[in-house]
Amino acid sequence: MIKVAIGIDVGGTNTVIGFVNNNGEILKEGSIKTSGHALFENYTSRISEKINELLADDFELIGIGIGAPNGNIHTGCIEHAPNLAWKGILPIVEHLQTTFDTKAKLTNDANAAALGEMLFGKAKDKKDFVVITLGTGLGSGIVSNGELVYGHDGMAGEIGHTTVFYDGRTCGCGRKGCLETYASATGIRTTVLEMLENSDKKSALREVPMASLESKHIYEAAIKNDEIALEAFEYTGRILGRKLADTVAHTSPEVFYFFGGLALAGDLIMLPTQRYFEEHLLKNYKGKIKMELSGLLSKNAAILGAAALIWNEDN
């Protein structure tokens, strides 16, 4: 028998399910649509069906880890997730535990990513680090003294919703000026749209229809030295770098690891982030803190992270 933990990544569009061994190898993988289920119960039943389809005879299931937006480790519920169709408190852990008679654990996707980095990525020997995911929003998982920081209510590490401008852009959380409205794939897109509107500079990005403009277009323009695209990366890095310099004051991490779509832009985002970060750091911290791309960037980090919730206890 091969011991496996299931890692489930609940995304706004798709839910991906993978069977992961203790070396962080995904032995089997499948996905279902997250949207299109009228009731949350229909959705969880569909997950269970998919698990049964994928479950091989020689797998010994040791548990199920779930990474989901607003996933709460303490309650096992997804709580008021803005980008899911079902509202309120959604008890996903209870359903899976009962159905498969095994332990299940839930946390938010960025926390799961941090655990994945610690078990299967670059942070194997690290005790103090922060994982920043630059996707549609900005997620963060904070490891301090060798443990993931959950906080008293299970919702610690929402760096994406710390404020950079008190009268800034409206955020999905209902407040204004949150970091993620600037430093994310969505944020840099908004920055470019503002820059295009407020300047007459020539830019290849003017040729992209506004509705279909994505961060990858900005990346492609930037590597061809498009002035607006380069400015947008500089601006994004400035806001992100300065805010992360503040974050250092809380837990004094050794490394920041980045992943998510925008992190794939590599130096374009990392160099300005690092420069403004270093400039803005308190003197005691200067020159000591590394910024690196995640060791799981090319792998399915979300699945590995979710499975790490179980492997973290049972290895």
50 versus 161: smaller Cβ distance to Zn ion: 161
Dihedral over Cα of 243, 248, 250, 251: its sign:
positive
Per-residue contact flags (x/-) with Zn ion for residues 103 to 142, judged by CB under 5 A: ----------------------------------------
Out of 178, 185, 264, 303, name the contact with Zn ion by CB under 5 A. Answer: 178
Is residue 171 a contact point for Zn ion (CB under 5 A)?
Answer: yes
Residue 209 Cβ, how far from Zn ion at the closest point, in Å? 28
Residue 82 Cβ, how far from Zn ion at the closest point, in Å? 9
84 versus 268: smaller Cβ distance to Zn ion: 84
28 versus 161: smaller Cβ distance to Zn ion: 161
103 versus 243: smaller Cβ distance to Zn ion: 243
Residue 243 Cβ, how far from Zn ion at the closest point, in Å? 13
| Side-chain-side CA neighbours of residue 185 (13 Å) | 19
Per-residue contact flags (x/-) with Zn ion for residues 137 to 166, judged by CB under 5 A: ------------------------x-----
Residue 168 Cβ, how far from Zn ion at the closest point, in Å? 10
132 versus 205: smaller Cβ distance to Zn ion: 132
91 versus 168: smaller Cβ distance to Zn ion: 168
Residue 175 Cβ, how far from Zn ion at the closest point, in Å? 5
173 versus 255: smaller Cβ distance to Zn ion: 173
71 versus 121: smaller Cβ distance to Zn ion: 71
Residue 240 Cβ, how far from Zn ion at the closest point, in Å? 15
Q: Measure the CA angle with vertex 32, ends 26 and 38; round to 5°.
A: 150
Residue 186 Cβ, how far from Zn ion at the closest point, in Å? 12
Out of 32, 55, 173, 255, name the contact with Zn ion by CB under 5 A. Answer: 173
Per-residue contact flags (x/-) with Zn ion for residues 239 to 268, judged by CB under 5 A: ------------------------------
The radius of gyration computed from the CA coordinates of the chain, to the nearest angstrom, equals 20
Residue 167 Cβ, how far from Zn ion at the closest point, in Å? 14
**Which tokens sit at 287?**
């020159």
Choices 138-146, 168-176, 275-283, 304-312 (CB under 5 A): range interacting with Zn ion: 168-176
Is residue 169 a contact point for Zn ion (CB under 5 A)?
Answer: no
Whether the CB-CB separation of 26 and 300 falls below 8 Å is answered with: yes
Whether the CB-CB separation of 14 and 300 falls below 8 Å is answered with: no
- Give me the residues that bind Zn ion (CB under 5 A), please: 161, 171, 173, 178
